[in-house]
Structure formats: C-alpha cells, structure tokens
C-alpha cells in the first residue's frame, strides 16, 4: 500500500471528513505484525535521521494536529520516540504569551523551525490560528480568512529553503474522543491529563470539524502536504505515520558528505 498517496490531501480538493473513516486500517488486522513493522520503520528512521544530520543540507518539519485526545503525544512517543534526541526537537504550542501576541501570528512559529540536519516536531502549530481562533471568534473573520494564504506563503518559504514539511491530521471519531477523555477520569495515572475544558470544547465538535476541513482543503500543497490519518486504532496510526516519514526521507536521496581529506593517509597510532 502506498501510504503517501492513500492519505495525502491532494491540492485543490475539498475535504469532507465524513468521507474519511477513522477506523480504517487498510486491511491490517494482526496488531503484532503491525507493531513489528512499526519497529522496522523506527530502525529505518534512525538510519535516515543519521544521514540527514550528517548531510546537513536540509531539515524535516513534522506538524501534528488533532481534536483533543487525538493522539499527538502518543504519536510522538510511539513513532518518533526512538530517534536520537540530539537531532530532534519537539515544540508544543500553547496559548500565546503576551510577547507572542505582540508580534504577527507566525513569529513564534518561525523561530522554532528546525535548522539543517534536524527534525522538528510541532505538537499543535500555526494552524491553531485558523482553528481555535476561528471557532472561538478570537479575531475578526477578516483577519483569520487572510491567514490561509499567509500560511501557504510561509510554508513555501520554508520549502524553498530546504525544509521538508509533513503535516498530519490525526482523525478520530467523536465517540472515540469521549472514550479517551473518560479514561482520563477513571485511570489514576491519567488524572493529570484530565481537564474540564476538554469536555466544554467537545460541544464545539462540529465547528472544529468545519474549521479543520477548510484548513486541510486550502493548505495542502505540493510543498507542504496534509495527510488525514485514521487514528481510532493507535497501532494503525503509528504504522501510517512512520511509513510516510520513512518514504519521504528515502525520497530525498540523501548522501553522506565526502571527507575533505584523504582518509587513507591518516595513520592511527
């Protein structure tokens, strides 16, 4: 199965999330076999990360977005967890600080973009400014409507400067979200994650879905594609995300740099 093409939002298409089954597993049913494949992907990702770092010519930016309890943290832990932490930086974007609000909405994002040789992972991102901002009417429509084009322009600048971008929307159902949020109330080791606001936000599910559909439709481009990942089954989510990352890194045809001296002339003593 070509995961890149199966889950990519083709540029110019209108996304209707009701047409994307969050329970979809592409015929995979053996969880044990899938987990072995994920481990194989992690091993390959580790090799490719080493090559990315050694080549030092480009960067990889991974953007994770989802409804509350959609699995962003779990994806980072179970897919990217084994990567060398020296070459990876995870940035979580929360409510903007006063300093951040004093700048344009992309200011806090741009300074967290990974440098060459690095992998950057965004847990939430600049898309919050056309999602939560839109749903809660935090700025006038005339302001957030301009941001789709501004985001596309920003991502094009990154791509033209050798930052490869992968954006994953982890798609869960409303019932699955309720199950996960409720588990936080009943399992002591998840109490720390429980937040009454999550249940309030759930009431705005339809508004968030509409906001996501517009963002996915308007901001999936050849240089910064969106992928809608079925995420009700965490094991399949991990497979899909890891495979897309591996396939993308392999497509870059990275090469180890040649030494600047003749290594055969070095005489170890």
For 42-107, the DSSP string reads: HHHHHHHHHHHHHH-S-EEEEEEEESTTSSHHHHIIIIITTS-GGGEEEEE--SPPHHHHTS-TTH
Q: Which residues, other chains included, contact 112 with Cβ-Cβ below 8 Å and sequence gap of 6+? A: 89, 91, 120, 122
Q: Can you give the pLDDT at residue 265?
A: 74
**C-alpha gyration radius of the chain:** 20
Pair 230, 240: CB distance under 8 Å: yes
Superfamily of segment(s) 3-250: P-loop containing nucleotide triphosphate hydrolases (3.40.50.300)
Q: Determine the straight-line distance between the first and last CA of the chain, rounded to whole angstroms.
A: 52
Query: For each of the chain's 269 residues, which pLDDT tens digit applies?
Result: 899 999 999 999 999 999 999 999 999 999 999 999 999 999 999 999 999 999 999 999 999 999 999 999 999 999 999 999 999 999 999 999 999 999 999 999 999 999 999 999 999 999 999 999 999 999 999 999 999 999 999 999 999 999 999 999 999 999 999 999 999 999 999 999 999 999 999 999 999 999 999 999 999 999 999 999 999 999 999 999 999 999 999 999 999 998 877 777 777 87
Pair 216, 226: CB distance under 8 Å: yes
Collapse the DSSP code of 230 into the 3-class scheme (helix H, G, I; strand E, B; otherwise coil) and give the result: strand
Pair 107, 47: CB distance under 8 Å: no
Q: Can you give the pLDDT at residue 175?
A: 98
Pair 93, 122: CB distance under 8 Å: yes
Residue 187 φ/ψ region, left for φ over 0, alpha for ψ in the -120 to 50 degree band, beta for the rest? beta
Cβ atoms within 10 Å, residue 89:
15
As a whole number of angstroms, the distance between CA 131 and CA 116 comes to 29
Q: Which residues, other chains included, contact 118 with Cβ-Cβ below 8 Å and sequence gap of 6+? A: 52, 53, 59, 60, 87, 88, 89
pTM of the model: 0.96
């Amino acid at each position: 199965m070509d995961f890149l093409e199966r889950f990519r939002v083709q540029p110019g298409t209108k996304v209707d999330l009701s047409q994307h089954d969050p329970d979809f597993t592409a015929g995979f049913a053996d969880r044990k076999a899938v987990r072995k494949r994920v481990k194989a992907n992690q091993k390959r990702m580790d090799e490719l990360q080493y090559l990315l770092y050694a080549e030092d010519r480009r960067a990889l930016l991974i953007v994770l977005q989802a409804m509350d309890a959609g699995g962003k943290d779990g994806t980072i832990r179970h897919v990217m967890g084994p990567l060398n932490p020296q070459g990876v930086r995870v940035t979580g974007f929360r409510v903007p600080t006063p300093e951040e609000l004093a700048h344009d909405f992309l200011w806090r994002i741009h300074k967290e973009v990974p440098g060459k040789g690095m992998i950057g992972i965004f847990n939430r991102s600049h898309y919050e400014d056309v999602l939560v901002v839109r749903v809660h009417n935090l700025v006038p429509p005339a302001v957030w409507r301009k941001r789709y084009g501004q985001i596309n322009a920003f991502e094009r600048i990154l791509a033209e400067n050798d930052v490869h971008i992968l954006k994953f929307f982890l798609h869960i159902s409303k019932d699955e979200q309720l199950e996960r949020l409720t588990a936080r109330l009943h399992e002591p080791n998840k109490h720390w994650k429980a937040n009454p606001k999550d249940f309030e936000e759930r009431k705005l599910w339809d508004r968030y879905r509409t906001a996501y559909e517009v963002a996915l439709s308007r901001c999936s481009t050849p240089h910064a594609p969106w992928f809608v990942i079925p995420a009700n089954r965490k094991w399949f989510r991990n497979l899909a995300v890891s495979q897309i990352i591996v396939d993308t890194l392999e497509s870059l045809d990275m090469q180890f740099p040649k030494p600047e001296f003749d290594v055969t002339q070095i005489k170890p003593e």
